Structures are given as C-alpha cells and as structure tokens.
C-alpha cells in the first residue's frame, strides 16, 4: 500500500494556489456562463415583481380590482422566473460540488471520499451527547470520509433544529424553529477502548453578563466537573466527566495544549466529547460552507481558499490532536 503523505499548512497554501490556477480556475471559467444565466433569471424575476407593484398600489388606493388583474401577469412571470432560478441553482450547485469541492478534497488527500448529498447519520450525532435538545428537524450535506494512519474519521455539515410552540394571551398558537447546532461535525475512531464519558464544552464565563458561570455546576447528566491545571485551557473550556481518571488520562497536558491551539486556529467555539472509544467534535458555523457563490464571480480564489481552509482544518484534527499516537489503552 502506498504511503499517504499529509500536506503541512504552508505547503497546503502553496499547493492550493498552484492547484487552483492549473485545475480549478478552468472549471470555474467553464461554469461562469451557467452562473450568469442564473443571475439573469433572478434579476428578471425581480424586475417583473417590481413591475407589478404599481398595480397593487393603485388597487389599494382606488379599491378597483382591475389593477390587480393588470398586475397578475407580472407576478406570474416573476414567480415562474424564481422557480426556474431555484431549480437551476440546485443543478449548478451539484456541478460545482462534484467538480470544484471534490477537487479541493482530493488536494488535501486523494484517498478521501466525498459525498455531496450525504451526511453523518442522526444515530452517530446522538451518540456524541453534545446537544441534548429534542431533534425535530435534522439535515446535512457534504460528507467526507477518510483515514490518516490508523485513524478513520468522517465529517459533514449538519443542522439540528428543535420546534418551539407558544400560545399568546388570545390563544393563538405560534411555531418557531430554534437552531440547536449548525456547522461542521467530525467523528474519529480511536480503535482502542476506554470507559466513561468525557465532555469538553466552551467555557461559560464568556457568556453575556458573565451569568453562564452560574449554571456551570449543572452538568445536565454529564457527570462532574473535571478540574485541570491548565489556565489557558480552562479559559476556553469546561470539562465534565463520568470518570475523573479517564478524563484526566484523555486530557493530558499535551492534548490540552493541542486543543487550545486548535480552538484558536478554528476561531469558533469548539464542542468535544469522548464516548465509546470515539471523539466527536462540533464546530458551529453560521453559513452554508460549501455552497457556491451565485451573486459574485465564481472565478475567485479567495472564496475557494475559505472552502479549502475549513476542509483542511477539520481533516487536520487527526494531526492537530495527534490521534495517531496510540496511547489509548484500556482505562
């Protein structure tokens, strides 16, 4: 079996620029006519919708339905244009992901597998016990699977939502969807067993008015707080565990230093759990990470560099946390 090599961060950037010029930019230039056609559909819909506005205004002012009839054809054309835009945008996204994102995944490691329409199973997500809210809506995309050394891993974009229903004073029921988690979710298998469950969550002291620390002692079924002697780590994370010895074994001084480094590099709150000989990592993100840009030129390396940065960041967890160092014995 051929030896797999990992790109160092500096080589990754250099290789990205070279690979972009030689392989990705030509693909994006070929996709530009399709992107512009999408824009034409969208703005045509906007124009026809705007053209219908005078009819609605005159109808409201004069109470004459004839103006609504005059506006109706413009509305119908606008709706049709937006419908076509939605359909063609989905097709464009499929081509973009299969041609462009797949190229970036292969640049990180040609042995990684990429599945644009698959995501981490809900059962695997639940196993992490990181977000215990009820799951009323669960979806995702852009699954990447691979192995680095002896460590197998997979990650994808996920969204977990909970439905909230409220009733006002008049008895009217309202429904809203609360986003529990949206971002990248990563799972790695240690291949060696350990007992107990350990949870590493963002430290509550950074919350508004510093009130979050008041609730920190409530572990919500995650065991007791694990006190660790690393001020920099403690400023970023709070650790809960069902077994203090196992938690301290997993979170060695070297592991805590690596987690601090990874948290700073990710520049977003990081949630982790160590359960059933697996490590689960959740990186909250507000945007759809691998969706193509429609309203700006696709031939821009800056946007793709952002895609590549997150792909390399998550795939690099194995290296950053030194998961291939097989210290995990039975504990």
What confidence score (pLDDT) does residue 1 get?
A: 37
Which residue bears the tokens 């430290």? 203
Asked if 185 contacts 159 with a C-beta cutoff of 8 angstroms, the reply is no
Q: Which of 73-87, 103-117, 189-203, 211-225 has the lowest mean pLDDT?
A: 211-225
Q: Give the confidence band of 75 by pLDDT, cuts at 50, 70, 90.
A: very high
What confidence score (pLDDT) does residue 17 get?
A: 78
Local structure of residue 183 (DSSP, 8 states): E
Task: Please state, as a whole number, how many other Cβ atoms lie within 10 Å of the Cβ of residue 286.
Answer: 9
The pTM score is 0.82
pLDDT digits (tens, 9 = 90+) for 175-184: 889 999 999 9
d(CA 244, CA 247): 5
Nearest CA among 6, 1, 15 for reference residue 110: 6
Non-local CB neighbours of 114 within 8 Å, separated by 6+ positions: 101, 102, 105, 106, 142, 143, 144
What confidence score (pLDDT) does residue 11 get?
A: 46
Return the beta strands (E) in the chain as ranges: 113-115, 137-148, 151-167, 173-189, 198-202, 224-225, 237-241, 271-275, 278-284
Maximum average pLDDT range among 16-25, 49-58, 119-128, 257-266: 119-128
| Residues of the chain above pLDDT 70, percent | 86
* Mean pLDDT, the chain, whole residue set: 83
pLDDT digits (tens, 9 = 90+) for 187-219: 998 666 778 899 999 986 544 444 444 444 445
d(CA 30, CA 266): 33
Nearest CA among 249, 286, 284, 287 for reference residue 263: 284
Q: 248 or 11: which carries more pLDDT confidence? A: 248
What confidence score (pLDDT) does residue 171 get?
A: 76
Asked if 188 contacts 278 with a C-beta cutoff of 8 angstroms, the reply is yes
Q: For 141-160, what is the mean pLDDT? A: 91
d(CA 223, CA 64): 68
What confidence score (pLDDT) does residue 13 get?
A: 63
Task: State the distance between the two ends of the chain, measured CA to CA, in whole angstroms.
Answer: 32
Q: Give the confidence band of 5 by pLDDT, cuts at 50, 70, 90.
A: very low
């Amino acid at each position: 079996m051929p030896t797999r090599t990992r790109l160092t961060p500096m080589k990754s950037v250099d290789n990205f620029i070279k690979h972009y010029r030689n392989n990705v930019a030509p693909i994006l230039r070929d996709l530009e006519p399709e992107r512009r056609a999408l824009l034409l559909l969208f703005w045509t819909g906007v124009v026809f919708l705007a053209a219908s506005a005078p009819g609605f205004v005159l109808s409201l002012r004069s109470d004459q339905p004839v103006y609504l009839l005059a506006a109706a054809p413009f509305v119908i054309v606008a709706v049709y244009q937006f419908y076509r835009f939605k359909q063609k945008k989905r097709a464009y996204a499929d081509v973009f992901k299969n041609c462009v994102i797949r190229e970036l995944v292969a640049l990180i490691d040609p042995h990684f597998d990429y599945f644009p329409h698959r995501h981490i199973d809900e059962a695997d997500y639940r196993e992490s016990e990181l977000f215990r809210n009820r799951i009323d809506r669960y979806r995702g995309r852009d699954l990447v699977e691979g192995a680095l050394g002896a460590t197998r891993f997979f990650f994808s974009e996920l969204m977990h939502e909970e439905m909230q229903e409220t009733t006002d004073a008049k008895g009217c029921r309202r429904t809203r969807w609360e986003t529990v988690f949206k971002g990248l979710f990563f799972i790695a298998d240690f291949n060696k067993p350990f007992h107990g469950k350990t949870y590493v969550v963002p430290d509550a002291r950074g919350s508004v008015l510093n009130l979050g620390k008041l609730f920190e002692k409530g572990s919500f079924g995650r065991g007791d707080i694990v006190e660790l002697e690393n001020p920099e780590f403690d400023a970023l994370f709070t650790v809960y565990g069902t077994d203090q010895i196992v938690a301290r074994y997993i979170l060695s001084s070297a592991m805590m230093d690596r987690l601090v480094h990874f948290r700073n590099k990710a520049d977003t709150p990081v949630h982790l759990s160590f359960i059933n000989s697996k490590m689960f990592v959740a990186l909250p993100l507000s945007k759809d990470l691998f969706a193509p840009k429609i309203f700006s030129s696709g031939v821009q390396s800056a946007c793709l560099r952002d895609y590549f940065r997150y792909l390399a960041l998550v795939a690099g967890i194995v290296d950053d946390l030194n998961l291939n160092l097989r210290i995990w014995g039975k504990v």
